[in-house]
Structure formats: structure tokens, C-alpha cells
Amino acid sequence: MAKAKGKHPEKALSALKVRQVTKPGKYGDGNGLYLVVDPSGAKRWLLRIVIQGKRTDMGLGGADLVSLAEAREKALEFRKAARAGGDPLAAKREARKIYPTFKIAAETVHKEHKAAWTNPKHVQQWINTLTQYAFPVIGELRIDKIETPDVLRVLSPIWLNKPETARRIRQRMASVFDWAKASGYREGDNPVDGVSRGLPKQVDRDKHHAAMPFGDVPAFVKRLRDNDANRISKLAFELLILTATRTSEILLAQRAEVDLTAKIWTIPAQRMKAKRIHRIPLSDRAIEIVKEAIALSTGSEYLFPGRSNEKPMSNMVFIAMLRRMEVNFTPHGFRSSFRDWAAETTSFPREVVEMALAHTIENKVEAAYRRGDLLEKRRELMAGWTKHACQ
């Protein structure tokens, strides 16, 4: 290529020259700005500039679209930015970046994560809830432009009349924004984090315990195991989840109640809410927990003793762990997580699930005819729940 002659030309080119020149080469205008004529006859602007100590060539567009005056204006803007220590090339790339909408981002997160979800219903529900409630409000907004007030517009209409759905949508939106930040599409805090301050307090009309969505239980179990709480407390909490039992039933559990060979934990009637003996089939992971607890609690009749071997752990231990982990659910709520999982992802009859929860049979006729406790069917059910929770 032919090179422009002369030292440091200043506005050496003219609009007429730009139109008429056809010989392939590089023609300097001054201050690092060049008109490049390719062998094909195409003409383009090139700026040679020093960015943060490194010489860099920047394209400023084709001469058929960018006039000489516009090229000089762009060159001046970029030189000023570079002299101030900035990186105009990075800024140019950023300006060209295509930001996804919330809808596209959510669909991407769904596609990337669904292979790890073992429950087909959860896979579909995850995207369906966002499609129904979030997409109509923020679906077409750029992911980097969405702020807390936009999230509030999604949740407000359903926060009180569909509280569980709203909480799940909030969690799923938070996952989408976390992905966007990790992918370089957002900066700063997750806009979901501050939304609670703008929402009314949910009234639990049925006085149900706040329950974690069953799809989030596996991640919680992993966090629980990695938590810095003492080992015996973590084992007790995990067994609470895997057996879908009440807090008091776990805290007062005694090693004499567990048959390790038959893999059955038998809770005496006096400790049960319904005042009936309750047999719980233990999964392989539950047996591992019991064996480790026995090894750790040497000399105590309790599986999970407190500070003294003669006494069980405090009934506040699980609540304290949840607070430290910043999880806004209750220990008892994991029974509901189990119930939802069984109803939505398995084909086990309702009576098997209710028996697993040791619920009282309200129908007296049904209660009169049901003599057994469906132990083997419940064994399959609890094995499936353990597989889900510990995946």
C-alpha cells in the first residue's frame, strides 16, 4: 500500500480528494486519521491512537457512510478519551454489545439449567411462571435496564393473593439477574434484593409455615452441609428434611428407636402429634446420618444431644441456623416442601404421602378400613425424596 507522504499533516484531505481517490493505499489526514482505500475500491476510515500506552488501530466506518468531517469529529473524541486515560476501543465494543431482554435472558437460564433438574414438572413450571407473570411486564425490557421498581410491578399484583407463586417468581427472577451479572450484562446489586421493602407483609391466613419451594431444596441441602454450624446440628437438620418429620420428633430422637438393619425409625405414640406409633423407612443417606450421629453422640441416649449428653438440642437450633444462612423459611416448612414435591412430581397416592407425614385421617370411614401403615410404599417414596433433596 502507498503511504501518505510528509510529516504530521494537518487536515491534509478534502471531501473532493476522498471522493476521487481510487488508488489502493493509506492516505493521512493528520493526528492519526487515515483514509484507507482497499484493492477492491472500498474506502474506510482508520484512526491510529495510543490507548493506555499501547498503539492501537480503530476503524471509524466506511467512507460512503462516514463523511470526512464526521471522521475528524470521531477521531478527536476518541483522542481526548485516550488522553484522559480511558479506553475508547473498549467503550466502542461495549456500545456494540447486544443486550438480551429479560425474556431472552430467562429462556437462556432455563435452557442452561434444565439439564441439571431431574423433575420434568419443575423444569416446565420454572419457565411457565415467568411466562405468565413476568414476561408481560418486563419481558421486552433490556436486562441491564431493569430496576427494583420494575420487579415490584411484577410481584405486586400477586403478592397477597398468590403468595407462594409470588415468592417462587421472585427467586427465579433473582436467578436470571444473577446470570446476567455473571455474563457481563449487568452491574451492581440484584434488583430483586430490595423489592421486599416495597411489598406489604404477607398474611398467612391458614397459619401455614413458610415453606421452601421443593425445587430449591437440593441447593439448600448443599449449603447446609457446607455451613460452619456444628456437625451434629447439620446432621439433625438434614435428617429432618429427609424424613419430613416435625422438629420435636428429630430433637427427641433416641438411638434405641432406630433399627439400622431394617432401616426403620419407630417413634413412640407419646411423642407423636396424633398419639400413634409412627414408623419411618430410612433411606440410605438417612442411615448414614444416623450412624454418624451415634458415633458423635457417644454416651447419650439421644441421637442429637445438646451441650449435655443428658439433654436434647434446643428447639431453636434449626431456626438459628436458618437465620445465619439468611433463609426466610421455617424448619417445619420442609414438610410442605416434601408434600408439594410428592404431589407435583410423583404418582404416589395421596394416602401414602399423608401417611409419610403422619397426618390424622379425617374421614372416619377411611380411617376404620386402613389398618396398615403402607411402609414399603413409603420406603420408595422417601428414597425418591432423598434422591431429589441430595442430588
76 and 131 co-located in one domain: no
Nearest CA to 165 among 176, 178, 154?
Answer: 154
- Confidence (pLDDT) at 368: 45
**Total-model pTM:** 0.49
Domain membership of residue 206 (yes or no) is no
Cβ–Cβ under 8 Å, residues 135 and 103: yes
Q: List the CATH number of the domain containing 283.
A: 1.10.443.10
Chain Cα centroid distance, residue 43: 49
Q: CA-CA distance, 286 to 292, in Å (whole number)?
A: 10
187 and 269 co-located in one domain: no
Report how many domains make up the chain.
3
- Confidence (pLDDT) at 91: 60
- Confidence (pLDDT) at 55: 84
Q: List the CATH number of the domain containing 44.
A: 3.30.160.390
- Confidence (pLDDT) at 136: 94
Q: Residue 245: give the domain boundaries.
A: 214-389
153 and 72 co-located in one domain: no
Nearest CA to 72 among 35, 18, 46, 33?
Answer: 33
220 and 191 co-located in one domain: no
Domain membership of residue 2 (yes or no) is no
236 and 373 co-located in one domain: yes
* Cβ-based neighbours of 76, under 8 Å, separated by 6 or more: 31
280 and 341 co-located in one domain: yes
Residue type for 177, please? Answer: F
Looking at residue 297, what DSSP letter applies? T
226 and 254 co-located in one domain: yes
Burial class (CB in 10 A: 0-12, 13-18, 19+), 65: exposed
137 and 80 co-located in one domain: no
- Count other Cβ atoms within 10 Å, centred on residue 161: 8
116 and 177 co-located in one domain: yes
Q: List the CATH number of the domain containing 109.
A: 1.10.150.130
Question: What are the Cα distances from residue 244, in Å, to 101, 145, 155, 240?
Answer: 40, 42, 30, 6
Q: Considering Cα of 114, then 171, then 285, then 348, what sign does the dihedral take? A: negative
- Confidence (pLDDT) at 365: 44
Mark residue 61 as left, alpha or beta (left: phi above 0; alpha: psi -120 to 50; beta: remaining): left
84 and 111 co-located in one domain: no
Domain membership of residue 9 (yes or no) is no
* Cβ-based neighbours of 78, under 8 Å, separated by 6 or more: 47, 49, 58, 88
Domain membership of residue 4 (yes or no) is no
| Cell 436486562 sits on residue | 143
Alpha helices, DSSP H, located in 244-374: 247-251, 284-296, 317-324, 333-345, 350-356, 364-369
53 and 117 co-located in one domain: no
Domain membership of residue 314 (yes or no) is yes
Cβ–Cβ under 8 Å, residues 250 and 239: yes
| Cell 437462556 sits on residue | 108
Domain membership of residue 331 (yes or no) is yes
Count the helix, strand and coil residues of the chain and give each as a percent rounded to the nearest 5. 50, 10, 35
Nearest CA to 59 among 80, 42, 74, 73?
Answer: 74
Sheet strands side by side (includes 25-30): 25-30, 33-37, 43-51, 54-62
Last residue of a domain, one of 35, 62, 96: 96
Domain membership of residue 164 (yes or no) is yes
Last residue of a domain, one of 148, 171, 198: 198
| pLDDT string in tens for the chain (391-residue length) | 444 445 556 788 899 988 999 899 999 888 889 999 988 888 888 888 887 878 888 888 888 888 999 989 888 888 888 787 777 666 666 555 678 999 999 999 998 888 777 667 778 889 999 999 999 999 999 998 999 999 999 999 988 888 888 888 998 999 899 888 888 888 888 899 888 788 887 765 444 457 889 999 999 999 999 988 889 999 999 999 999 999 999 999 999 999 999 999 999 988 888 888 999 999 999 999 999 999 998 889 999 998 888 888 887 889 888 888 888 888 989 999 999 999 888 888 888 898 999 886 555 544 444 556 788 999 999 999 999 999 8
Strands (E), the chain: 25-30, 33-37, 43-51, 54-62, 258-259, 264-267, 278-281
346 and 253 co-located in one domain: yes
